[in-house]
């Protein structure tokens, strides 16, 4: 008896992009949250009005069950949100702090 070849069609499963990082910025009473595949992408989604930054701010990064916190002055927060190079340096610094 000849054997029958069993051919299964495997449909391509599209993987949805799951946000890898959750970034939040606490500015006193104001709280901003965003998620993204990278820290810089999450930072771009924060939509912070840089003129409302009046006091110290705390960036909190969560990835899985790891967490990192950094405290910055208003000047540093504005620079991080506007300047691309400062954002990349911030990303490197906060990723090294993940515990």
* Residue 60: per-residue pLDDT: 96
Give first-to-last CA distance, the chain, whole Å: 62
Backbone angles phi, psi at 95, to 5 degrees: -70, -30
What tokens does 44 get? 């771009």
CA distance 19 to 39: 10
User: Which of helix, strand or coil describes residue 14?
Assistant: coil
Q: What is the pTM of this model?
A: 0.77
Write out pLDDT tens, residues 12-59. Answer: 555 666 668 999 999 989 999 999 999 999 999 999 988 889 899 999
- In angstroms, the Cα distances linking 7 to 3, 11, 13, 26, 27 are 12, 13, 18, 56, 59
């Amino acid at each position: 008896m000849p054997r029958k070849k069993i051919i299964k069609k495997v449909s391509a499963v599209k993987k949805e992009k799951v946000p890898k990082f959750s970034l939040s910025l606490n500015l006193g009473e104001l709280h901003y949250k965003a998620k993204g595949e990278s820290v810089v992408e999450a930072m771009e989604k924060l939509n912070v009005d840089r003129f409302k930054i009046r006091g110290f701010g705390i960036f909190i990064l969560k990835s899985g069950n790891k967490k990192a916190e950094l405290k910055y002055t208003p000047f540093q927060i504005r620079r991080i949100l506007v300047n691309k190079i400062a954002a990349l340096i911030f990303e490197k610094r906060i990723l090294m702090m993940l515990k």
